[in-house]
Structure 1
Amino acid sequence: MKIIDSHVHLFATPHLQNLAWMTDDNPLRASHTLDEYCHHSLMLPGCDHGVVEAYSVDGVVVIEADVKSSLNDWSHAIAEYEWVCRIIDNKLLAGEGSSSHAGLVSAIVPWAPVPAGPQAVTEYLACLRLRNPTVTDKYLKGVRYLAQDKPSGTMTSPLFIDGVRVLGSSSSSSSSSSLSNRLVFELGIDLRLGGTWQLDEAVILLDAVNSVTRIIINHYGKPDLYLSPNDLLTSDKFIHWTKAMTKFAATNSYLKLSGFFSELPVDLIHHHHEWQDMLARVLPWVKVGFELFGTDRIIWGSDWPVCTINGGKHSFNKFVALTLALFDELDLSDRERQAVFYDNAKRAYNL
């Protein structure tokens, strides 16, 4: 069965200083290129991955890695985009990795200055296309601006809303405004660390842009997987999240099944005897998402290499195995599994 990994971050050693979150002691302070991704994913032929050995990565969506950018300084974000273009064009510079697996890149989702409003977003997209028209026209499928660490009011400001709306009338080539060619917006919010107010503001945003722009909700909205399953029915966070997801599902949006290893207690990920506990911790949230969005509007992503911080170097395969266990609990058919792993991403990103 084929997989399109809808959430992969890439960065090479020469680019580490451009990442906003990078520190000297960060566990990801090393090269994480497409070569490393392939080495740690299902791409290795002949490796025994047990239950996941029948699955292989057929494409990846490269998501911006939160580089140092501001509404007035786009230089690092543009440099990150140009590097991904060089991967595709096989024109990498020294220390930037290789283009051996360039054919895996299915889409690019760079950072964009969304809070600056529609004019800034339009100008920024034009800058990207100027750097590499050929790659942009084929691979630029959306943008991301992380709201999860921004102050209240960011997502609901008129400029932000209009900055998202303009994506719905834009395409990478600027030659078509048909629905299939419009750019998506990747929404990054955080229930566990950010709080329920982020859900409330995201509901306002999605309602305001629903008729124009497709939203892809990253990481299931980052649920609070530290909560015990026994406490969920009385948990304000779970109840609030469920109500918000109900409203999200009524809009032109997709839900990304990704990022769980960053939200789970580490001991549940690493101890094999805790596998059933990890499954029980995740399942109630996953069930709600599938009940609301169905199997045709949920897409799968590894969140590599962020997933390795808590999940270890084999986290990609661990997350595939966890996903398959969730599919078994949900009694999904082969067609539905393939939809989540592959088909839905093709439709969501117009691949």
Structure 2
Amino acid sequence: MTSGHKLAQRHGVSDYKVTTSSNPVQPTGFVYVETDRYLPSPSPDLSPSDDDGKVMQKLGAWAKEPLNELSYLRRIAEGKPFDEDGHDEFAPTLLSGLVIWAPFYLPDAHFKAYIQIAQSVLGKHSWKKVVGYRYLLQGKGVDGVKEAVSNENFVANIVAVGGQGKAFDFGVDSHRDGVEVVEVLSALVEKIRKTEGGGGVKLVLNHFCKPDLSTPEWPSYSRWSAAMSGLSNDPHVYMKLSGAFNEFAPSPTPSSVQELLTTLTPYFNHLYDTFGAKRLMFASDWPVCNVGGPQGEKDGEERNWSVWRSVVKAWMDGKGLEDEEKEWIWWKTGVEAYGIEGF
């Protein structure tokens, strides 16, 4: 990501509050999900001869950007912002949970070493806000997803954090990487379940696996829907309604709620029919929703969030969902999936 990229600009809690200010009901909290920070190489340059101190040093240098993100999150959680952070001392009251990045494919000892570093950077108070971890498989192609499935460390580390009561977020890109990546996810879930201690790990899928929305009739829709049906059979798999604006490319993103619904309704309906309201959650994907957002990436900064909220609301109203079901999708599913207390 270049320094001039839209997402490289500041997006603080104060910016989020401005963005959501037009919502009839103001959010009382949010879950911060890691932002896929830069890594200089796919894996750290670790040697079997490295002692514990050397491992910690190398991991810290390699994961500098994800750890910088944790430092930023600590300042939010503790209400001690830098001037350029874009939040104030009241931000901690909105921060309901953190979903952070971790290198799940590393061997157990190195994974634990990274978690130890992350705990140190976040501090004891902020670490209590961690409700889950995320590792994105999108952009890695079907071979990359298959590699994750076959990686014993990847699976074992997911089970380990799940055993601590933390959710695991992950996502694939069936638009650009092909629909087979969604089908491979079933093998990953099955492997997690067959691992000792993996039966109850809560798994959260992002962006309904990024289907290709550039055409009204995606040729792979039937395979996507079959894969969703299979994944929904697992009672501990949750799905986020999010991230759709990016998936209309190379076609322009429709500019009206009704036009967006014309394309999205079959997907939403299928997810509702399979997962049910109690395992679907609204997620804004802010600020990424501005990339490809129907209100524009520059002038629509404060409006794309509202458009997505309006799309989800209009679908629920049109579908005739009961008020209780709507509450689950708006916030209760998120609280349940991430084990957030105080609601």
TM-score range, shorter chain: 0.7 to 0.9
Query: 2:225 corresponds to which residue?
Result: 242
**Of the candidates 101, 112, 118, which is equivalent to residue 128 of structure 1?**
118
Query: 1:269 corresponds to which residue?
Result: 254
| Alpha carbons 2:78, 2:126 under 8 Å: kept | no
Q: How many residues align?
A: 305
Scaled by the length of structure 1, what TM-score is found? 0.81
1:80-118 CA-partner distances (Å, limit 9, x unpaired): 112101111122234222333221111111111112244
1:216-236 CA-partner distances (Å, limit 9, x unpaired): 0000111111121xx35xx2x
Relative distance call for 1:170 and 1:145 in structure 2 (3 A) is closer
Relative distance call for 1:212 and 1:169 in structure 2 (3 A) is farther
Question: Cα offset for 1:134?
Answer: 2.3
1:303-334 CA-partner distances (Å, limit 9, x unpaired): 00111122222011111111111101221111
| Alpha carbons 1:254, 1:297 under 8 Å: kept | yes
Considering only aligned residues, what root-mean-square deviation do their CA atoms show, in Å?
Answer: 2.1
| Alpha carbons 1:60, 1:106 under 8 Å: kept | yes
Task: State the AA in 1 paired with 2:68.
Answer: A
Relative distance call for 1:301 and 1:292 in structure 2 (3 A) is same
Question: Cα offset for 1:159?
Answer: 6.5
Question: Cα offset for 1:133?
Answer: 4.0
**Of the candidates 244, 247, 267, which is equivalent to residue 260 of structure 1?**
244
Question: Cα offset for 1:160?
Answer: 4.0
Q: 2-side partners of 1:260 and 1:185: how far apart?
A: 21
Query: 1:19 corresponds to which residue?
Result: none
Scaled by the length of structure 2, what TM-score is found? 0.82
| Alpha carbons 2:205, 2:237 under 8 Å: kept | yes
* RCO higher in structure (CA 8 A, sep ≥6): 1
| Alpha carbons 2:29, 2:95 under 8 Å: kept | yes
Percent of residue pairs bearing the same amino acid type: 23
Query: 2:305 corresponds to which residue?
Result: 316
Q: 2-side partners of 1:115 and 1:156: how far apart?
A: 13
Q: 2-side partners of 1:32 and 1:128: how far apart?
A: 22
| Alpha carbons 1:188, 1:217 under 8 Å: kept | yes
Query: 1:105 corresponds to which residue?
Result: 95
Question: Cα offset for 1:161?
Answer: 5.0
Any gaps of 5 or more consecutive residues in structure 2?
45-61, 194-198, 294-299
1:26-63 CA-partner distances (Å, limit 9, x unpaired): 2334211111111111xx3xxxx4xx52x221111111
Query: 2:188 corresponds to which residue?
Result: 205
Q: 2-side partners of 1:198 and 1:330: how far apart?
A: 29
| Alpha carbons 1:143, 1:185 under 8 Å: kept | yes
Q: 1-side partners of 2:93 and 2:311: how far apart?
A: 27
Q: How does 1:1-351 map to 2 (within 5 A)?
A: 22-41=1-20, 44=21, 49=22, 52-53=23-24, 55-69=25-39, 70-72=42-44, 73-99=62-88, 100-157=90-147, 160-170=151-161, 177=163, 181-210=164-193, 211-228=199-216, 231-232=217-218, 235=219, 237-251=220-234, 252-264=236-248, 267-270=252-255, 272=256, 275-311=257-293, 312-313=300-301, 314-351=303-340
Query: 1:7 corresponds to which residue?
Result: none
Q: 2-side partners of 1:169 and 1:115: how far apart?
A: 13
